[in-house]
């Protein structure tokens, strides 16, 4: 399983999504002081989650 790393800003397309306020607060607290946006953090988290699901299906 790949370890999650806080990413730098990749090229993106805008998508609208709702998040629970407590999750937003936790992500923003985690990325504070880094060169990472909320969107970049979420994109990397989704990439890692998809990769983990693929690995689980292969086992």
Can you give the residue ranges of every domain in the chain? 21-58
pLDDT in tens, 6-38: 877 667 788 899 999 999 999 999 999 999 999
pLDDT at 49 over 80: yes
Predicted confidence at residue 50, as pLDDT, reads 95
Nearest-angstrom CA–CA distance, 12 and 58:
29
Q: How wide is the angle at C-alpha 31 spanned by C-alphas 11 and 43, nearest 5°? A: 35
| Residue 41 pLDDT | 93
Helix, strand or coil, per DSSP, at residue 4? coil
Q: For the whole prediction, is pTM greater than 0.85?
A: no
């Amino acid at each position: 399983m790949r370890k999650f790393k806080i990413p730098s800003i990749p090229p993106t397309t805008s998508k609208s999504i709702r998040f629970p306020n407590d999750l937003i607060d936790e992500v923003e607290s985690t990325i504070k002081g880094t060169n990472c946006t909320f969107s970049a953090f979420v994109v990397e988290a989704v990439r890692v989650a998809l990769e983990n699901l693929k690995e689980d299906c292969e086992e």
